[in-house]
Amino acid sequence: MSTFTPTEMMTVAAARALSNDDVCFVGIGAPSAACNLARLTHAPDITLIYESGTIGTAPTVLPLSIGDGELCDTALNTVSVPEMFRYWLQGGRITVGFLGGAQLDRFGNINTTVVGDYDKPKVRLPGGGGAPEIAISCGEIFITMKQSTRGFVEKLDFITSLGHGKGGSDRADHGVHTKGPTRLITDLAVWETDPQTKEFTVTSLHPGASRKDVEDTVGWPAKFADHVIETPAPSAEELQVLRDLHARTKAAHEGQ
């Protein structure tokens, strides 16, 4: 068996969460790598959509931004941004939204707006972009992020995008009837949402990751399912396809 990094394991585990039938709204960064790995391995017919308006895109290299020409050149069709948000996202055509974030809490609420006070920010982050409506309009939400106590916090400084709010029925109480965050894929584990409390619960630990590793890198008391399994290690094919994708991407971006 070949060796692999925690980031590679995260990307592979995130890719496996997607199916061939999904219509997926792709966030930039870690989600983009996972979504394209899924397309290049077990889900060749998955529809990938980026908020720049590209529908059914199949980039050969990972885009640096959500609006790279590569996305448009390889898409079935490219629509305007208002059409993307109105007909395709708000219209309920997207099965999965795949998001990352700067700060995350145990109920899948995400902060990408500000660290510190909104009016007196310690660190001003880019803001919500498409996320506030992706979070409520997609059928369900997958989140992928590396674990750290800075990123996985007890209380968010700002709720940019709604997950399960305060847990339980809080999401539905906001008038939101899509599933919301159902899965969180990190560099250490796969977490799933508890059906009652709506709190993220570890269901699968990646090879070599311990419960303590998980507990030490989140800012809340981590919950574990009764039966925690070990995430199957990346297959030789998954690793090869992922590494080729990154190598092509690096060559393309350096070549400019």
Partner 1 sequence: MAKFQSLADAVADNLNDGDSVAFEGFTHLIPHAAAHEAIRQGRKDLTVMRMTPDMIYDQLIGMGCVKKMIFSFAGNPGVGLLRRFRDALENGWPHQLEIEEHSHAAMANAYEAGAAGLPCAIFRGYRGAELTRVNPNIRFVECPFTGEKLAAVPALRPDVAVIHALKANRKGDVFLEGITGVQKEAVLAAKRSIVTVEEIVDDFEGLSPNATVLPAWTVTSIAVVPGGAHPSYTQGYYGRDNSAYLEWDKIASDRDKFMDWMKANVLDRTPDIFAGRVAHLKTQG
Residue 92 or 208 with smaller CB distance to partner 1: 92
Q: Based on the number of CB atoms within 10 Å of its own CB, is 108 exposed (0-12), middle (13-18) or buried (19 or more)?
A: buried
Catalytic hit among 51, 70, 199, 238: 51
Six-digit token pair at 227?
Answer: 């039966």
Torsion sign over Cα 211, 217, 221, 222: negative
Enumerate the β-bridge partners of residue 193.
200
To partner 1, the closest distance from the beta carbon of 68 in angstroms equals 6
Q: Contact between 140 and partner 1 (CB under 8 A)?
A: no
In this chain, which of 9, 26, 28, 242 binds partner 1, going by CB under 8 A? Answer: 28
Rounded to whole angstroms, the Cα distance separating 215 from 234 reads 23
Closer residue to partner 1 in complex, CB, 41/137: 137
Q: Which residues pair with 229 in a beta bridge?
A: 204
Query: Using CB under 8 A, which of the segments 115-123, 184-192, 200-208, 235-243 binds partner 1?
Result: 115-123
Q: Segment 48-87, which members bind partner 1 (CB under 8 A)?
A: 51-54, 63-69, 71-72, 78, 80-82, 84-86
Active site residue 230: no
Query: Which candidate, 1, 6, 8, places its Cα nearest to that of 239?
Result: 8
Which of 18, 37, 131, 184 touches partner 1 by CB under 8 A? 131
Q: How distant, in Å, are the alpha carbons of 121, 176, 178, 206, 229 from that of 4?
A: 38, 39, 35, 11, 19
Q: Which is nearer to partner 1, 126 or 195 (CB)?
A: 126
**Stretch 161-190 residues interacting with partner 1 (CB under 8 A):** 161-162, 165, 171, 174-176
Alpha-carbon dihedral 45, 70, 99, 37, rounded to 10 degrees: 50
Residues in 145-164 at the binding interface with partner 1, rule: CB under 8 A: 158-162
Binding residues with partner 1: total (CB under 8 A) = 54
| Rounded Cα distance, 32 and 175, in Å | 29
Shortest distance, position 73 Cβ to partner 1, whole Å:
8
State the nearest-atom distance from the C-beta of 216 to partner 1, in Å: 27
Torsion of CA 189, 104, 61, 15, to 10 degrees: 30
Residues recognised as catalytic: 51
Contact set with partner 1 (CB under 8 A): 28, 51-54, 63-69, 71-72, 78, 80-82, 84-86, 89-90, 109, 113, 118-119, 121-133, 136-137, 158-162, 165, 171, 174-176, 253, 256
